Structures are given as structure tokens and as C-alpha cells.
């Protein structure tokens, strides 16, 4: 293991630890992200692949086996975990804005509620969270909105604060 791989593994572990905190909240503790110990084949570099421990079955499996909604939650948790690690070790760098483009369409209503609750927690912590989505149910869950409607003569914008 060379120095570069050691540093990558160190930060990757920190990102996974922070992501797990977010994922636990979004999945009711069902999933835990794990760093895969060996590569998928002898040609791959090991150490940066992810598995998921499913606490319902007690078994680890590839993240590739997650459903669309589960995959969205894991991706969101990883993005937030990376943001947490960057902010904690970047000498005062604060990531104040996050945009999420789509992804909510793959979630059932309970999963969508959990994901929105996580994003509301971020917004309560003085972060601006923008969601770009075509899912109409989100309109009921989000108070402040910028709605863009396409028309024959151009687009119109409605801002609700």
C-alpha cells in the first residue's frame, strides 16, 4: 500500500462513516455502507469499491443490487458525507449550497419523505438546498419554491417564499 492509497483509504473511510449517519436516518437503520476489502477482479484496484450491509438480512451485498430508491438514498448520503468531511478538514471552507437534480421520481412516498426530512435538516443548518424535480408530490412537502412552466411563447417563473 503506497502513501497515496493510504490517504485515499483514510478519507474514503471518513466519508463512509459520515454517509452512514445520513443513510441510517433515511433508511431507518436498514443499510450500512462498507468499503469492500478486495477488488472485484485481479485487475482492479481494491479499496474504493462499496458494499452495503442490509441489516434486515444481516448480509453484505454490492451497492449495485440496491433498488432505484435505495440507490438514490445511498448516493445522497455519500454526497452529504463527502461534504461533511470536506467542511471539517478544509480550514473553514463552508459548503453552503447544494442542488439535487432529479432522483426523487424513483422514491416511494415514505422514502421521499425521509429524503426531504434529511434535506430540511440541512436547510435548518443554514444551507441552501435546491431541488430540481418533476415530481408533483414534492410541491406539497416544500414551502419555498421556484416553479418554471414551459409555455408556447416561452417559460414563466413563479416564486413562492
pLDDT in tens, 56-95: 999 999 999 998 888 888 998 999 899 889 888 767 677 8
Res 42: pLDDT: 45
Cβ atoms of 73 and 111 within 8 Å: the answer is yes
Res 134: pLDDT: 84
27: domain CATH number is 3.40.50.300
Q: How far is it, in rounded angstroms, from Cα 11 to Cα 13? A: 5
**Three cell numbers written together for 101:** 437534480
Say how many Å lie between the first and final Cα of the chain, rounded.
Answer: 53
Domain that holds residue 24: 3-160
Q: What's the domain count of the chain?
A: 1
Give residue for cell 469492500.
36
Average pLDDT over residues 95-117: 83
Instruction: Answer whether residue 23 shows pLDDT above 90.
Output: yes
Q: Model's pTM, two decimal places?
A: 0.77
Compute how many other C-beta atoms are within 10 angstroms of the C-beta atom of residue 142: 16
Res 117: pLDDT: 83
Amino acid at each position: 500500500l503506497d502513501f497515496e492509497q493510504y490517504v485515499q483509504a483514510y478519507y474514503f473511510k471518513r466519508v463512509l462513516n459520515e454517509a452512514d449517519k445520513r443513510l441510517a436516518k433515511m433508511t431507518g437503520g436498514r443499510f450500512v455502507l462498507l468499503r469492500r476489502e478486495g477488488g472485484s477482479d485481479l485487475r482492479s484496484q481494491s479499496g474504493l469499491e462499496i458494499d452495503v450491509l442490509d441489516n434486515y438480512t444481516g448480509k453484505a451485498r454490492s451497492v449495485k443490487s440496491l433498488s432505484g430508491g435505495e440507490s438514490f438514498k445511498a448516493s445522497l448520503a455519500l454526497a452529504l458525507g463527502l461534504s461533511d468531511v470536506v467542511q471539517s478538514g478544509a480550514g473553514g471552507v463552508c459548503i453552503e449550497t447544494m442542488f439535487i437534480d432529479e432522483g426523487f421520481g424513483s422514491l416511494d412516498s415514505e422514502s421521499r419523505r425521509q429524503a426531504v426530512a434529511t434535506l430540511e435538516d440541512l436547510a435548518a443548518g443554514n444551507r441552501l438546498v435546491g431541488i430540481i424535480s418533476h415530481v408533483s408530490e414534492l410541491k406539497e412537502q416544500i414551502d419555498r419554491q421556484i416553479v418554471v412552466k414551459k409555455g408556447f411563447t416561452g417559460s414563466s417563473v413563479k416564486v413562492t417564499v
